[in-house]
């Protein structure tokens, strides 16, 4: 009786915890929409309401971390105006609070009170003619933190679509006789179509692909279903962007012009810093670390072209976008400016929407290029050098904040045998699958990298050793249950892990060596397990 009562109370707690997480999701979604809708009274009212409700729910159900973050958001919003964006400093504070909200809620299984991944609120509906395949796929998707529901036929699909809209549809072309038409019919009532992931046993012709496109296909897989590739596509649907706001350095000797530019970009949530003396631009670049530079052409002491050439002399700023914002009308001079270090030219006066869109696109491109330079091409995880840099940075922050830090090493078991028996493409598929699984199971603030070959590394800030070991064991057990496609045959594989906690006086080399020794012990003890240093 006591056990049943405890289980019932735990279920009630999980239920209300999910309500809080749903509300946190609304707060994050609304904040992230600022980039598109711009700061306006309707958006401001909606954001304040969501933050206030989150604070109320978190307080009622005693989720202290979320309650505190929601209260900080409300306090930061108190002095803002519905029809006027705040300055960059206040925008940065708001962004920091939202980022903390993502951190509080981003790691799955930290506890049983609903602090789960915010990505997995809506389910995906799985629609295949073969119900056994649908159920098996639903089970596999659950391992990746993606809630899925198998649908029997087109009537059942119509019913659940009216009951609850999914995050995506996964549809076999044979479903209900014609899966593509079934998907189109299910979306006829929707103003905004839902992304559809199609699968066909045979190679689709262009007519079928066109029909799928008209049904809002975002993915079309032919042949045997590859769960890793499917999850990779679905992860984009569920993705919560955890990146910080774009940062723009405005170089202009006119204080009034730089203030106007700041207010314009602030509408879209961008953070700016004005440099009115171009001779201080190098110091500002080093401290502010912008995603783009917006620069006047003519300034006292030196021209914008000269400043651009100075910036380009330094390899670290080789890909940093430089956009000129000037009243210069001569097209020849504009082209010459871009030939000498510039990437774009905006002629004053420029419409605010054009300015925002142009700067945003340049910032997106810059971050994408930077990201590619530090990531492993096969997995998309941080590369070897970058994960070690993340460990060094984690140690520095741990020393400053006096918080726990753990470092983990993971190695796929018997990987050489997989390559020898099934071929390197299957081995690569397993590596990608584990990378996706790790990204799903860890927080945005946890650094996940490919250490080399079949080895992975994780930097877990503000994580006690007991929590890190428990979480790694959960991930280890879950990964062992995933099916990997190997020439039409499902293949299961495992990994071993070692985890170590930072101790006072340790450097990055010593901490990584401790985790590596724990990994060696896990291998020695029989593999498919985690050991702590």
Residue numbers annotated as active site: 454
Q: Which residues contact 378 (CB under 8 A, 6 or more apart)?
A: 428, 431, 432, 435, 450
Is the bond preceding 349 in cis, omega lying within 30 degrees of 0? yes
Helix 465-479 with 424-441: angle, nearest 10 deg: 140
Residues 6 or more apart whose CB falls under 8 angstroms from that of 290 comprise 247, 248, 249, 273, 320
DSSP letters for 60-71: HTT-HHHHHHHH
In 3D space, the residue among 495, 468, 441 whose CA is nearest the CA of residue 145 turns out to be 441
DSSP string covering 401-460: HT--EEEEEEEETTHHHHHHHH-HHHHHHHHHHHHHHHHHHS-TTSEEEEEETTEEEEEE
Cβ atoms of 19 and 57 within 8 Å: the answer is: yes
In this structure, the number of other CB atoms found within 10 A of the CB of residue 295 comes to 27
Residues 6+ positions from 304 with CB-CB distance below 8 Å: 251, 278, 295, 296, 297, 298, 324, 326, 337
What is the DSSP code (8-state) at residue 260?
Answer: H
CA atoms within 13 A on the CB side of 125: 26
* Two structure tokens written together for 381: 């995880």
DSSP-derived 3-state class of residue 200: strand
């Amino acid at each position: 009786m006591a056990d049943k009562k405890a289980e019932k109370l735990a279920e009630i707690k999980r239920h209300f915890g999910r309500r809080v997480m749903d509300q946190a999701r609304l707060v994050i979604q609304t904040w992230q929409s600022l980039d598109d809708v711009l700061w306006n009274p309707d958006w401001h009212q909606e954001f304040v309401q969501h933050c206030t409700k989150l604070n109320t729910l978190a307080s009622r159900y005693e989720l202290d971390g979320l309650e505190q973050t929601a209260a900080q958001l409300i306090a930061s919003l108190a002095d803002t105006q519905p029809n006027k964006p705040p300055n960059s400093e206040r925008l940065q504070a708001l962004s920091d609070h939202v980022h903390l909200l993502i951190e509080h809620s981003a790691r799955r299984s930290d506890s049983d009170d609903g602090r789960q991944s915010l990505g997995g609120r809506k389910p995906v509906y799985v629609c295949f003619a073969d119900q056994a395949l649908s159920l098996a796929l639903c089970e596999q998707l659950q391992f990746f933190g993606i809630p899925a529901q198998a649908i029997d036929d087109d009537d059942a699909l119509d019913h659940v679509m009216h009951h609850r809209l999914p995050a995506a549809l996964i549809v076999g072309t044979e479903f209900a006789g014609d899966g593509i038409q079934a998907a189109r019919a299910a979306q006829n009532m929707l103003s905004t179509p839902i992304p559809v992931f199609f699968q066909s046993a045979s190679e689709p012709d262009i007519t079928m692909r066109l029909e799928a496109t008209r049904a809002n296909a975002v993915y079309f897989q032919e042949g045997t279903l590859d769960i890793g590739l499917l999850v990779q596509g679905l992860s984009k649907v569920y993705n919560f962007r955890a990146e910080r706001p774009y940062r723009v350095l405005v170089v202009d000797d006119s204080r009034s012009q730089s203030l106007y530019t700041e207010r314009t970009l602030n509408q879209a949530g961008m953070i700016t810093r004005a440099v009115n003396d171009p001779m201080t631009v190098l110091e500002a670049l080093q401290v502010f670390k912008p995603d783009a530079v917006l620069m006047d052409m003519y300034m006292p002491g030196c021209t914008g072209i000269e400043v651009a050439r100075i910036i380009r002399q330094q390899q670290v700023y080789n890909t940093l976008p430089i956009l000129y914002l000037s009243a210069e009308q001569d097209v020849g001079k504009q082209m010459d400016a871009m030939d000498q270090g510039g990437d774009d030219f905006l002629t004053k006066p420029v419409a605010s929407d054009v300015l925002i869109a142009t700067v945003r696109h340049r910032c997106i491109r810059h971050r994408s290029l930077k990201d590619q330079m530090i990531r492993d091409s096969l997995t998309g995880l941080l590369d070897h050098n970058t994960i070690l840099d993340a460990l060094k940075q984690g140690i520095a922050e741990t020393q400053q904040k006096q918080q726990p830090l753990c470092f983990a090493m993971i190695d796929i078991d018997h990987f050489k045998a997989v390559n020898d028996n099934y071929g390197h493409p299957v081995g690569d598929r397993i590596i990608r699958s584990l990378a996706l699984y790790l990204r799903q199971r860890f927080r945005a603030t946890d650094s996940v990298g490919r250490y080399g070959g079949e080895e992975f590394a994780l930097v877990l800030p503000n994580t006690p050793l007991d929590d890190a070991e428990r979480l790694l064991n959960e991930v280890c057990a879950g990964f062992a249950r995933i099916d990997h496609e190997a020439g039409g045959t499902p293949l299961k594989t495992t990994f071993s892990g070692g985890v170590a906690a930072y101790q006072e006086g340790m450097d990055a080399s010593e901490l990584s060596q401790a985790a590596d020794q724990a990994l060696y012990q896990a291998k020695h003890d029989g593999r498919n397990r985690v050991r702590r240093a």
